[in-house]
Structures are given as structure tokens and as C-alpha cells.
Structure 1
């Protein structure tokens, strides 16, 4: 069962210290200094030529060599030099110091250094393991070095050392949790970007919450004030990057919105049959309150959770709850309070993006409708007049006229443009009829126009779920259009390809064209690069495997 007042996230995946390079180097330097000092003291205090002393000096010399190699590895950025191997080696050095029987102070220094290094770098679990191992080795070495020692005194000393080691490990865990929470809050602020839309942004935020707590699912349930409609988002490990809110039954929503709705909830299933469950609520101030164990147990069964925490949500459009659900591990009180803080500030701020996105989408829809009407009244009517004029000229030209074939071709092109403009004006206000993303349809029209005007065959390829907000869609569309235009105007290529892929948290755009045997000189597409940088991404040019040039754009999502 979770320890009251202590964050139970110590068992969560990815619980590691947020050490920077300078901190790791500092630990390595301290280890090296301790090793040099211990060896020097052992040499000075050497009383004779006993075999135990010789073995101790040899082991300390090996440890000094290992500490020096580890320090050099840290300076070079080698991963193993800052891993668990070194503080476990520190615990072994503690036993070696105790085995000499001459340096009790230094052996204790090595013991506590191993515990501190493990706790600050890897948290409670690793700190507790190293504490138990170091104390066990220290006591065994002490008894072996001094057979006449009183076992009771050694056991008392071991109990005191275990207590201190546990306290150090808990302090290290607290520091790690504070750093992880700060990092999570920074990540939630980063994902709160209006250009990605509310669905992608909220899904990303819930996935970060799920990963932080090491839970199986994270659920947001909202009751809209105006319509009374209930919507739910459920994020699982390995789920899609974009989840739209789904409507749920009112009875199910009522069961997931227990009263009082302003309380944070914590439930932990009993660890054995007959034991009481931990069912608590917190009102934001004061002590934790006991909840009806039966009601909370039913809610846990509905959620299929061994443990869950929940916090109230207050959004612009309604109220609801966020749930973090663990099927195996137990969450604690500090987890529930931290979730309540996130729900009250970060998630509420993210929801405001939805309001901004809806306002922007409505404005964009009105603008598209206006453009469609203007397009029909100006461009389409003009092209119809051009088409009629060309048809008249074609009728007047005799079949023997050498320009007759060209006139017929121009008339056919004008007719195709009229059809395309009418199709665009019809679908612009509400997207495409076949459900294809409107920007993909726009790219296909651009590709068709490039083929008709320049004779360049442009292939459009998409992979993954490409669900972008209106503003990001407009930017991506302009980047690809600029790339196609560059291929048509600045190269002699007859074939090109545009590839759009959403993988993980990156949107990758590749615009490639053949260049034959002669590769073009190095260049940088200035306009595309500037647009990519404005979106927080980058653009670069590379050579493909089939004598083609590829302009690559990566935009973080």
C-alpha cells in the first residue's frame, strides 16, 4: 500500500535522476579523490606485511584504477561511466576497506558515498538495494577482519546504517520526483501550442501524464454545460497520437463523476483478502477524508484499476474529471495532489486552446466561403469568357490552319481549369466530399497543375494519420507548394515526389526530384527553411540513392 505523504511514483518506469553532465563529472571526481585518499591512508597506516593488508592494498589499487578509468569515461561522455556499475563498485570498495581492519572511517565514507550516489542518480529502489548490499558487505568484512568482535554490536551498527541509508534513499527519491515534476510541467507547457489543435494537444498531454505516473491509462471525462453531452478521451500506451473526444452514455458518465465533484480522489485495492482498501478524497485544503469503500471499489472495478487517482477539471465549456489508472502498481497521496495541480492549471490552459482553435476554424470556414464566392464571381467567370472566346476562334480557324491544333489544346486546357475551379469553389467551404484531408486534395490539384503546365509528373504520398490543425495545415500546404514550384521552375526534372509522414512526434515532409548524372551544387531553400524554423522545425537537403535531390522538412508535433 502506498506510503502516506510520500510519492509512490518511485516504482514508475523511467525514474532516473535529472543529472546534468557537470553533476556526473562531480561524482566521478569525488570518487577519484576518495580512492586516492583511501589508498594513501592504507599505505601510511600499514603496520606490517600481513596477507590481509596486502590484499587490501591490491584491491584499493584496482579500485583507484577503476575510478580513474570511470572519470576519463565521464569526460568523454561514455554512458557506462555514469551507470549503476560505478556506485555498486563503490559498495564493494567499502567492503574492501573494512576488510583491511585499519580504516574504519574511510570504509564508512565509501558506504555512504555509494548510497548517496545511487539515491541521487536512480532514486529509492536503487538506493535501497545499494544500502542493503553495502551494509551487508561492510558487516561481513568487519566480522571477517575482527573475529573477536561482538556480533550484537555489529548487528546494532548494521541497523543504524540501514536506517540512515533508507533516509538518504528517500531524500534522493524526493529530489528526483521534484525534478521529474518540473520537467513534466515544462513538457505540458511546450505541447500547449494552438497550431496543433485541441485533439492532438490534449492527447499529447494525457500521454505525458500516463507515462509520468507509469499508469496503463489516462482518461478525461467532460460534461458540457450547454448541451449536457458527455465526452471522453482515453489514452493508452502505444495509442494513436490524435484522439478525438467520443460521446459516452449519461449513466456511465454519472458513475465516473461521483460527488462531491470538487474533491481529488485516491483508491488503492487491498493487498490481501479481508484487508481494507484505501479510499480517500481531498478537498484542496485540510486533511484527507475517508470515502465509501464500496462506491470507490465499484468505480475501480468499472475502470479495471488496482489503483487510481482522479482530480476535478473546470473547463470553459464544462466540468469533469481526469483519471490516472494503474492496473498493477499503487499510486499515492502525493500523486493525487500533483494531478490536482496539473488539472487546475496546465490542463485548463490547454483546454483554452480548444476555444481558440474553434474560433480560428470558424473564421477560416467563413474566409473559405468568402473566397469561394469571390472565386466564382471573378476568376471562374473570366475563365468561362476565355473558354468561349477560344471556342469561337477554333470554329473560325480552318482545319488546314497550322495553329488549329494549338488552339484546340488551349481550349481544352481552359475547359479543364474551369472544371477544377468550380470543384474547388464547391468543396472549399467544407472540405472534400470523399473524406480526404483538404490539404491533401489541394496538393493533388497542385500536382495536376504542375503536370499540365510544366510537364512534371508529381506523385503525392502520405503515410500515417495526418491530422493537423487549420493553422499548421496552412503552413504545411504552403511549404509543399513552394517545393513543387521550385522543382518546376528551377530544375529540368520530369518526375518528382512529395512524401508526408507522421511518425511519433515528428511530421516529415520530403520533396524529391531526379537530377540525372550531374548533381546540382549545394543549396538551401531559403523560404522553406524560414517557414520550418518558424514552426520550430528544420529543413535540409540531401542526396537520394537514385540520383535524386531530396528537400527534407521536419516539424515537431
Structure 2
């Protein structure tokens, strides 16, 4: 409407532009009134319908074609209105709608050209004069075939250019919206697994994939962690970490020249072949990709189409995301470039979640260690001092036997509280135990238990070296600590033996004592203990965390034997 008002002002200044035609001025006034009505309607209704937008757009196309009939100069000043209509179509829709608008404008101009040559405007002018109406005052010079042909080409090229730019801008906006939505899924509160579940679920939803896999590896380690998420009944399942296999590195993290690539599988004469399209780190196409690298993955996971994109988190982690049986609607290379950019944008946010989560855990461990030190330097030392004073009083007193016995009982209570506080401090401290320190840690734990409780305790290892994941080391160390606490509190044992060994592709941990045993006789497996509600709950839960099996053998009045078997496999990444 601003263009129409500006043109009307210009015409009022120089009416010669429209050959002093009253009809042209009326068209301008009508178009301005139409614009005012449309703005008032949009003020009352914030959202317009598609049919309303097409109706308004049709009016925008017809009006400049009509007003061009009245242009007096060779350079049609109203041609700018047609360019404005193309820009409006590009802003509202996209490429093909803009090209269609240009074609419609060209068609209207040629219809007007045909009307000039058929004498329609001459006949209309005579009709108006016959009824004492103002003459049309049309200008046929601008509709000469040669000039109109050039203007038509100009409009079509302009429509194609504006439509293409609008399509690119629309795609860019859509990609930014997707990236922003996926970035919003990275939340510290959800943890690393929760964040990956949200992001991978979004990728599955975007591409309609049947299954998604994430394989990652620490830069300074050979351990490979593999996570999976499936699409079941149009809903994504929970993200879960898979049990690691010795072949994971060759299956998922094989050497490949492309950073991001698409593979489609086909069968020819009974043999399975792969068609590959790949991009390097800069987004350039990589030629002659080796399809043999996908054979291990195809054996592990059946798929007809596959997209793989690589990622890295700082210098600590790198890996790949696999989307299986997905559908790409656009150009394959463009889709791969977008996915590559998406992962590059989202990767730092996921890495920040990982770092912040680890920082929180480390801060919590430091706080617990500080609190344990304060307990040791304060309450524990005070209780030990009180116990020593009571012991001195009990030995030097000349009072009756009852007083001596009472002092002995108080001394026993103080010793018991000191042991409880030390056990609490032990549980609060974070364990930094790996396979190199495990044997020494267990030996020190058993020796300290004997020194503090007076119960004879021995540790024996059938292994000179231990090669087990850090999580298994931590849980076995906690199990030994918890088992020794239970011996002191409940068994009334005089001797304890802790043994670590290996057999049948399992690590074995055995704890034996000569105490009162459990409330049952015989040997119960892990499943039987859960069914009957027997056995130490904390130890059972820790054994379950490392996929182990617990068996307890008890002889009431003579002692008990706990045996824990853990499969010798590499650690899966949980949490």
C-alpha cells in the first residue's frame, strides 16, 4: 500500500504519467482502499487463512497489470509493482509459487497486448464516450511485442532469482530452528544418558529412522561404548547402553575416509552391495569409498539405508552416530551437510553436559572427603580420647566390680561408635580404584579391619595382575568393605578370609568367616536370595550393577561363605 500511496502522490504532482486518466486515478484509490480494509481485517484476526492470502495475492498480481495500461512513458513506472508482487510471493511461500506469480503476471500482460491488437480498448473508449463517460486514455506503446517480450523475460528471471533466494532463506531458517530445538535437549539435569536419549530421539523423529546407534571411544583408551535407541510403534524406546563386545571397534569405529556418509544396500545375484555417498570434514564430496568397511556393521545390524556422522568431544571422546533405515527427502549431499553441521553445533553442548556432570560428581566427592576429614579430626579423635580415659579409669579404679564392668561397657560403646564413624567416613570417600591398585587396596582394607576390630583377617589373591574395568574394581572394593562391616556387626566371627581369583572366564571374590552364619542352612543362588528376601541388600545391588552372580553358603553356628562371580568383559558405559 505504501507504493500505491507514493505513486498516487507522484501522479497528483504530474498527472501526465497516466495521460490524465480518471480511470487510472480511480484504480489507485480503489487499491489503497483495499489495502486499508485488509490491514483492518488483519488487526482483528491475527491469523489469516490460506484462501484469504491467495485472494489478496491475486489482487496484487492483477492490479499492477491493469495500471500498466495507462503508463504514458516508455519506461513504465508501474513496473515496480510487479517486482513487489514477486518479492511478496517469495516472502510468503517459496520458489515455485514465486515463479508461478511471475508466469501469471507475464500471462496477464500478454492478454492485455492481445486486447490492444484486437481493438478492445478502442471499442471500450468509444463506448465510454457514447455514454458521456471519461475516456480511458490507455497507452499501447508499452505493449509492443519486442518490448513486452524483454519485460516478460525480466519478470521470469526476477521471479526465479527471488524464489531461489527465498527458498534458500526458508531452508536456512528451518535448519536453524531444528538446531535450536535439538540444542535445547542438552540439559545438565538429565545427565549424559538422558541428554543423548532426547537428542537421538529427535534425530529418529526427524528422519523416520528405525534404529539409532552411538559408538564412542575415549582418546586415551581402547574401550568402546555403544548405545542404542529404537523406534517401536511410532514411539522411540529408551536409550540404553549395550553390553560391549570384543569386535565393537572393528564393527563401529573402523577406519573410513569420509566423516559423514550415506549408504543404501541392494542385492545382486545373491551378493549384498552398498552404494555410498560421503563427505569429508569440510563438506566436500569424497569419491571411491570402500563398501567393504560396512560388512561388519551389516552383519551386526540389518539395514537397507544408513547414515553415519562422526563427532568429537574436545580431545577426550570421538565416535559415530548411525541412523538405520531412514528416509531422506531432499538431495543426499545437502542432507549430509546439514546433519554434519547439526552434530558440529550440538556436540559442544553435549560435551558441556558431560563436563558439568563430571564436575558436579567431583565436587560432591571433594565435599564428602572434606566432611570425612572433619569427622576424623574432630568427633573421632574426641571419642578415641574418651575411650582411652575410660580405659585408664577402669584399670586404676579400686571400686567395686560393678563399676569396673560399667566402665568396660561404656568403653565398648565408645569403641563401637568410633568404628561406625570410621565406616561412615570410608563410605563417604570416593574410591579411585582401578586394576593396578585393586590388590593393594583390598589388602590394606583387610589389614585395617583386623587392626581396628581385633578379628583375625587375611586377604589372598590367586592373581598377580588384574585387568578389569574400573567400575568392576570400584564395586568389588565396596563389596569387600560392606562385607567386613557385616562381619563385625552381625557374625561374631573370630576369623575372616577374603580371596580374589579367576576361573571359567569369570572373576571370583570369596569372603568366608567362622561366625554364626545366616538364618538359613545350605547354599542359595542370587535368584533364590531375591525370591526368599534373604542376604545383604547392599551387596546384592552392587553385584547386580556389574552383571555378577552372588551365592551364599551358610551353616548356622559355624559360619558363612559369600561367592561372587563377575563375567570378564569390558565395561559398559552407564549414566
TM-score (norm 1): 0.46
Q: Specify the structure having the higher radius of gyration (Cα).
A: 2
Q: With CA pairs under 8 Å and 6+ residues apart, which has the higher RCO, 1 or 2?
A: 1
